[in-house]
Structure 1
């Protein structure tokens, strides 16, 4: 479906902070904000992607291990990136529960490599992106079949409405699955 291909091209699906984008030296908050704005800001938008308040709230909610001397390490930036990606679907409390084990392992200097975990996240992101494009195409084809018999000026509107509802439905299904995994993590910790 041509419209789905146009949609895929118009939404910036490959925006992410790569490991090589994160400096190996500690950053002040303004530099962290600038890093996120440079990667995720929408063109011609004054909307901030990341703010001081957001980062302070993440720290207060203990989504991040403690910051020292007002500087953010590479590990902090990786955690902030994970939070950024999770916050669109999960509550702050669910994000805290999800990242709690990782924060604890970092604090305990465990043999855990947050770089390796983040690399796996980025790799899975790429795989999910390809799957997403295929699923979008399939949804477009399914909607086209549903509206074949409609032959009036509202066809385009109905097509877009059904695509929106289909996309939101899939989003909700994935969100529910993620929330179930978070609940399983909480139960296991008890």
Structure 2
């Protein structure tokens, strides 16, 4: 099997440049769950790995609510603040455990972070995402230079390992941040031995 580096470049570019759901795309009006599901599907649908994968389901939102990861619902509609909370959860769930995300969301609510504060988080994240995309392109292009124009399976797996390592480093840093700054219960804090 041979893979052209240009084909790989297209995959990387399309993945890095996928759509995001931005706070300004969330209506000021309260929404029913079906409207939220359609919004997330419309804006984030291309981030699915497989066509049958779901971005968000009613069960997921119900579980987030039961676990007190989003503010309690009043009536049958969700406020803009709750939708922003759901968006944070959706962005984190691909990398972090639900337990870790719950720690983050609990502290946000305990600190009284409301809609304006959540929007500020996303504004800073947008700036960070632009820098991250630049950095990823630089890293990946640097890695790709180590390989011939036509890559065999060994080169492809080698590059895959390197990219997985980057992901692993970022995940471990995220987990260490949660353990250091978000875990408040001493019983649930990892011991220093388990810190990576």
Query: CA 1:135–1:115 in structure 2 vs 1: closer, same or farther (change >3 Å)?
Result: same
Q: Which segment drifts farther, 132-141 or 55-64? A: 132-141
Q: Which segment drifts farther, 155-164 or 134-143? A: 134-143
Listed as ranges, the gaps of 5+ residues in structure 2 are 187-196
Distance in 2 (CA, whole Å) between partners of 1:130 and 1:124 is 10
Would you say the 8 A contact 2:65–2:72 is kept in 1? Answer: yes
Query: CA 1:54–1:187 in structure 2 vs 1: closer, same or farther (change >3 Å)?
Result: closer
Note the aligned Cα RMSD (angstroms): 2.7
Is residue 58 from structure 1 mapped to residue 85 from structure 2 by the alignment?
A: no
Listed as ranges, the gaps of 5+ residues in structure 1 are 107-111
Q: Which segment drifts farther, 62-71 or 4-13? A: 4-13
Distance in 2 (CA, whole Å) between partners of 1:8 and 1:115 is 33
Would you say the 8 A contact 1:19–1:115 is kept in 2? Answer: no
* CA deviation map 1:44-86 (0-9, x unaligned): 9243211101111111111111111121000000000000000
Question: Where in structure 2 are the equivalents of 1:1-190 lying within 5 Å?
Answer: 2-3=6-7, 5-11=9-15, 13-42=17-46, 45-106=51-112, 112-145=113-146, 147=147, 155-188=151-184
Distance in 1 (CA, whole Å) between partners of 2:102 and 2:168 is 20
Would you say the 8 A contact 2:22–2:122 is kept in 1? Answer: no
Distance in 1 (CA, whole Å) between partners of 2:137 and 2:95 is 19
* CA deviation map 1:99-152 (0-9, x unaligned): 11222344xxxxx4533443443443343344334334433433542x46xx9x
Would you say the 8 A contact 1:4–1:140 is kept in 2? Answer: no
Cα offset, 1:6, TM superposition: 1.6
Distance in 2 (CA, whole Å) between partners of 1:93 and 1:11 is 27
Q: TM-score, normalised by structure 1?
A: 0.80
The 3-state SS of whatever aligns with 2:28 is coil
Would you say the 8 A contact 2:143–2:159 is kept in 1? Answer: no
Query: Taking CA–CA contacts closer than 8 Å with sequence separation of 6 or more, which of the two structures ends up with the larger relative contact order?
Result: 2
Would you say the 8 A contact 1:4–1:136 is kept in 2? Answer: no
Query: CA 1:115–1:162 in structure 2 vs 1: closer, same or farther (change >3 Å)?
Result: farther
Cα offset, 1:4, TM superposition: 5.0
Aligned length: 180
Cα offset, 1:12, TM superposition: 5.7
Would you say the 8 A contact 1:25–1:74 is kept in 2? Answer: yes
